[in-house]
Each structure stands twice: as C-alpha cells, then as structure tokens.
C-alpha cells in the first residue's frame, strides 16, 4: 500500500479512486460513493481488504465534507471537482452507510486496521477517521 500519511486521501488507492470519481459523470458520482460503502459492508465478516477500506474512507470524507459543519476538502489527492468548489449529492441514506462502513473498517479482521496497528501509527489514523465520523454522526443525530 503506497501510503504517505493518515488522511483519507493519503494513499495510492484512495487517490486513484478519487480520480475515477472526478472523471465520472456527475450523475454517476453518488452511486460510486454508495458502492464504496457497500463493497465494505457486503464483505460481511470476511477479512476486509485494505483497498476496499481506503476507498470507503475517502468516500466517507467526501460525504462528511458535503454535510453541514463538514470540513472543506483541501488535499490535492481529493477529486478535483471538489477542490474547485463543486459538490456531490448525498442521498439521505448514505451517511448511515458511511458510519456502518467505518465501523467495519476499524473492527476486527480489517487489513486497514492491522496495517496501521503494525506501523505504530494506529492512533493518528483512528483520530483522522474519528473527525470524519463526528461530522457524519452530528448529521444523523439531527434526523
């Protein structure tokens, strides 16, 4: 895994996924975000591959950025359309999917979690996810 930091876009797989999201037609983007979450959730209790996890983490950061109180995305590895001030539609059920996917990613049998724990940088990586999760949870609490 080509990873250079703990941020949601700071690895090769997430950056590639963001490029694909940017290149997609705007009408296709919400389905791509949803698909990142369902790929994690459809994995069930099987060992979760890190590539699936980092795509869902990037998607979660994008969802959080579109919600009230969400931090603007500034990473140069994020989708260009967002960096240029664009937006993406977030269907009402997607934030809950994001939370479920994040729960699975930080849980047992997750390569993402295992790799960060082995690196000794698990705490900063989890803290980065918690910031995303806090924004999404705040929106869910208001519904």
Task: Break the chain into its structural domains and give their ranges.
Answer: 12-141
Q: What is the pLDDT of residues 32-90, one digit of tens each?
A: 999 999 999 999 899 999 999 999 999 999 999 999 999 899 999 999 999 999 999 99
Instruction: Name the pLDDT band for 4 (thresholds 50, 70, 90).
Output: confident
pLDDT at site 1: 47
Region 129-140: mean pLDDT is: 94
Q: Tell whether the model's pLDDT for residue 28 goes beyond 50.
A: yes
pLDDT at site 87: 96
For the chain, the average pLDDT equals 95
- Taking the C-alpha atoms of residue 45 and residue 109, their distance in angstroms, rounded to an integer, is 7
Per-residue DSSP letters for 69-103? TPPPP--TTS-HHHHTT------TTHHHHHHHHHH
């Amino acid at each position: 895994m080509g990873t250079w930091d703990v941020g949601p876009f700071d690895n090769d797989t997430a950056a590639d996924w963001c490029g694909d999201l940017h290149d997609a037609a705007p009408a296709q983007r919400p389905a791509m975000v949803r698909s990142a979450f369902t790929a994690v959730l459809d994995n069930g209790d099987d060992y979760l591959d890190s590539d699936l996890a980092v795509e869902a983490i990037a998607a979660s950061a994008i969802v959080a950025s579109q919600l009230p109180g969400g931090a603007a995305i500034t990473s140069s590895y994020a989708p260009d359309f967002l960096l240029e001030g664009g937006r993406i539609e977030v269907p009402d059920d997607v934030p809950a999917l994001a939370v479920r996917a994040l729960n699975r990613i930080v849980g047992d049998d997750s390569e993402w979690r295992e790799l960060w724990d082995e690196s000794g940088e698990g705490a900063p990586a989890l803290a980065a996810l918690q910031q995303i999760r806090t924004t999404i949870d705040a929106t869910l609490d208001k519904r």
